[in-house]
Chains A and B, each alone.
Chain A
Amino acid sequence: MLIIGEKLSIIAKRVREAMMNRDKGPIQEIARAQYEAGAGMIDANIGPAEDGGEELMEWMVTTIQEAVPLPVCLDTTNYAAIEAGLKVHNNDHGIPMINSTSNDPERFPMLELAAKYNCLIIGLTVGKGGLPADEEERAAIAAEIMARAMEYGVSLENLYLDPLVLQIATTQEQAIKVIRAVEMFQQLNEPPMKTVVGLSNISNGCPKNVRPILNKYYFLMLLNAGLDAAIADPAEMKEAMEEKPLFDAVLAGQEIEDKEKMQIMKKTIDVIEGNTLYAHSYLEM
């Protein structure tokens, strides 16, 4: 399992300010904390970065790799910024990843870069239109992205298919469909296609105390479905891995000693599987 640390995102105020001021301190501190918690790659989300994106991505990649011996996941829609980041990336720390291409023609050029620099790339299974309705639509889009990748000369082993995790608070029925999509994606090729998710979106919009619970147990269910990588909070994922034996027991319908934890796990499984309707206070029911 590859955990791609999600914390260096322009959405976070502290990170955004550090990016704008080119202040290495907070960036390297966050990168180190994620490395120590078990991240195998660091996501650098600089947003659309229309102005000065190239220079910012270069700075991010070198700043991160100065602090930790990890590859970087280059996260922006700005093609030039991705290329600038790839040029300065130290591949002794591992192969970088492009986040992302999709079935939207505007995103096809990312495949060119993946072929040119022989790096990993995420294929988000969305098209130009609306969001995919179910796992079948996701698999159909995945097949198109795979064909396109081969056309551009990207090895399928370098392509990570992303089913697009949606918010459980507003689109509960999608949670289980994404798990099924992860299963289906693997069957699209031999050896099986690799899969990745942007995990925390599952709990976006949920109360603070509920978010880590949903993130952890959803991750474990995806892991059981064969997931290869997750853009996530490495500290949370570490906790999840520690809880995995207990969680698997509860999933299998067994009793565990900690009844309170068992209830939390059961209720969360029911919400993810769609057996009960999600509400912000679902754990208090």
Chain B
Amino acid sequence: MSDNQQGEVRIDSEVDIVTVRKAVREIAQQIGFGATDITRIVTSASELARNVFNYAGVGAMHWNRLKQNGSIGIELIFIDNGPGIPDIEQALTPGYSTMKSLGMGLSGAKRLMGEMEIESAPGKVTKVKIRKWIGRY
């Protein structure tokens, strides 16, 4: 995937959460993020990949290298055909979870990344998009 501008990682099983982490770490390193940002990005990706697996069973992560007005960054889009998020605002409340989990994944990933967009409705494709730029906070 070395010089690609975009790619996809399938999420078919629980082990793919680790596959996603490894792919994201490699891409973020190539883009040139610092060590702390890499940890933030990989940890966010781990939370969102787990959501795909837990709620939908299968899905995918698309990644894009970003270039805009001289800034470079990374975009990760988590896509699944699961039940969808009925109330996005509620889902982003720290501690809220419909599963036996801490409920910190979605809100935490938003905080770590800075930019997050969620497209979801019951019965429709769920897309969670996160972005981070080098040197922008």
A binds B: no
